[in-house]
């Protein structure tokens, strides 16, 4: 008895969970080819979109970017040393008061110095440490600069438009060196006999030997010195 050959259909059963679906493999193959063609067309379209002429690069002179750094004038070593004369220091909390003491100097002044011809006496009128912090300036460096003037150092009031780079030396300032304002400096030592008048307000009352005392003790006609800014 011959067994009849069963016709094998192109349809296969694909089990998805508990459901059974009949899928025509030939249709799946044709659909796959169609999708592949669409994908290839998309790639070609994208390539065509980016295959246009590229922007031309014009070669020219390199750009020079200049950065301005706030500089400070460092005194020559022979002046950057402890002062041994009679020293007085008056501090100020506000620029307008400081400029009242530093006659002839303009805005941006941090301090000024008056020294005797023999450099045995020196008076420094300076911004207070708190004032220097508000201006973001180096208080210790400022003090070293002014003490160098007490020791005899001199330099012009301004650069007269001349520009310097960090590390340059200024011949007109006896070889003073320009450094960045962020340069760290240690506080200079002061003579033991230094007389200091702290910044005000409030009103500051001092005795003839420059020692502070409460102003409430004062009476009319007192011999002590008081000053208010």
Average pLDDT score, the chain: 73
Q: What does the alpha-carbon distance between residue 7 and residue 198 come to, in Å, rounded to a whole number? A: 113
pLDDT above 70 (res 98): yes
Residue 159 burial (C-beta neighbours within 10 Å; 0-12, 13-18, 19+) = middle
Question: Which pTM value belongs to this model?
Answer: 0.61
Q: What is the mean pLDDT of residues 39-63?
A: 49
For every residue of 119-156, DSSP letters joined together read SSEEEEEEE-HHHHHHTT--HHHHHHHHHHHHTT----
- Nearest-5° Cα angle at 35, 31 to 39: 170
pLDDT category, 12, cuts 50, 70, 90?
Answer: very low
Q: What is the mean pLDDT of residues 201-225?
A: 61
User: What is the structure's pLDDT at 68?
Assistant: 64
56 vs 167: which has the higher pLDDT: 167
Joined together, the tokens standing for residue 227 give: 């000053």
Give percent of the chain above pLDDT 90: 34
User: What is the structure's pLDDT at 35?
Assistant: 39
203 vs 17: which has the higher pLDDT: 203
Tens digit of each residue's pLDDT (9 = 90 or more) over 52-93: 456 565 666 677 766 666 778 999 999 999 999 999 999 998
pLDDT above 50 (res 122): yes
């Amino acid at each position: 008895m011959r067994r009849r050959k069963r016709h094998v259909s192109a349809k296969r059963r694909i089990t998805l969970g508990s459901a059974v679906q009949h899928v025509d493999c030939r249709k799946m193959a044709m659909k796959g080819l169609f999708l592949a063609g669409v994908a290839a067309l998309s790639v070609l379209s994208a390539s065509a979109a980016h295959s246009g002429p590229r922007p031309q690069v014009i070669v020219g002179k390199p750009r020079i970017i200049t950065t301005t750094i706030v500089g400070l004038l460092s005194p020559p070593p022979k002046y950057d040393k402890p002062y041994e004369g009679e020293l007085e220091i008056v501090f100020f909390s506000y620029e307008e008061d400081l400029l009242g003491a530093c006659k002839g100097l303009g805005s941006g002044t941090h301090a000024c110095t008056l020294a005797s011809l023999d450099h045995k006496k020196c008076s420094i009128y300076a911004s207070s440490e708190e004032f220097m912090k508000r201006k973001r300036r180096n208080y210790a460096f400022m003090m070293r600069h002014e003490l160098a003037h007490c020791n005899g150092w001199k330099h012009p009031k301004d650069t007269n438009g001349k520009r310097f780079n960090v590390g340059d030396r200024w011949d007109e300032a006896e070889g003073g060196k320009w450094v960045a304002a962020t340069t760290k400096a240690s506080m200079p030592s002061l003579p033991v006999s230094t007389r200091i008048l702290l910044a005000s307000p409030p009103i500051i009352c001092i005795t003839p030997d420059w020692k502070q005392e409460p102003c409430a003790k004062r009476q009319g006609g007192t011999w002590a010195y008081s000053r208010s800014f």
